[in-house]
């Protein structure tokens, strides 16, 4: 009985979500309203291994603000010829380079996303982030399904009030 209880506790301990949004706020930007997120993203060993082998990871943000639904994404990649890790907001040409994976992960602590709304909009909203498993190469989707804990990266929904 004790062994079964310990196994259940270990399973619960392993069920952490690897992503947490700690704070969100909207800020006016040059190209309209921006969503600034403070978050904690922890990549699993399987995700790090995939990056090191040239497989890009797509973090998908689902946002609801001012009655509009938005999806934004950032790509995490490794460029072996440059010996650098890359962070790129989807839909932009701007790529930030990092010498170490730990530096890339640290850069994810604070991120800004465009909302395509007027800069003077004042709205409440909600956001969550998850690893987009559909963006993984087909051969990795099967293991991601069966070894879900190694590929689980999902936050709870974070809600913020209008400024």
List the domain boundaries for the chain: 17-160
What whole-number distance in Å separates Cα of residue 54 and Cα of residue 79? 7
User: 99: helix, coil or strand?
Assistant: coil
pLDDT of residue 23: 97
When pLDDT is averaged across residues 138-163 and rounded to a whole number, the result is 88
User: pLDDT for 76-89, tens place per residue?
Assistant: 999 988 899 999 99
What is the pTM assigned to this prediction? 0.86
For the chain, the straight-line distance linking the first and the last C-alpha, in angstroms and rounded, comes to: 52
Model pLDDT for residues 23-45, shown as the tens digit of each residue: 999 999 888 999 999 999 999 99
Which of the pair, 146 or 16, is modelled with greater confidence?
Answer: 146
Note whether 8 and 1 are within 8 A (CB): no
User: φ and ψ at 152, to 5 degrees?
Assistant: -85, 120
Q: Each residue of 122-157: b (16+ CB within 10 Å) or e?
A: ebebebbbbbebebbeeebeeebeeeeebbbbebee
């Amino acid at each position: 009985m004790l062994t079964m209880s310990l196994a259940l506790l270990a399973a619960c301990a392993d069920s952490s979500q690897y992503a947490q949004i700690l704070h969100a706020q909207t800020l006016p930007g040059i190209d309209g309203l921006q969503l600034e997120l403070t978050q904690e993203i922890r990549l699993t060993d399987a995700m790090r291994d995939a990056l090191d082998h040239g497989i890009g990871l797509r973090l998908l943000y689902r946002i609801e603000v001012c009655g509009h639904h938005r999806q934004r994404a950032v790509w995490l990649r490794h460029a072996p010829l440059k010996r650098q890790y890359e962070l790129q907001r989807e839909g932009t040409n701007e790529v930030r380079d990092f010498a170490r994976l730990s530096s890339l992960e640290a850069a994810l602590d604070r991120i800004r996303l465009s909302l395509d709304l007027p800069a003077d909009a004042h709205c409440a909203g909600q956001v969550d982030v998850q690893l987009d498993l559909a963006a993984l190469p087909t051969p990795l989707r099967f293991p991601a399904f069966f070894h879900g804990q190694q590929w689980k990266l999902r936050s709870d929904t974070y809600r913020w009030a209008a400024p």
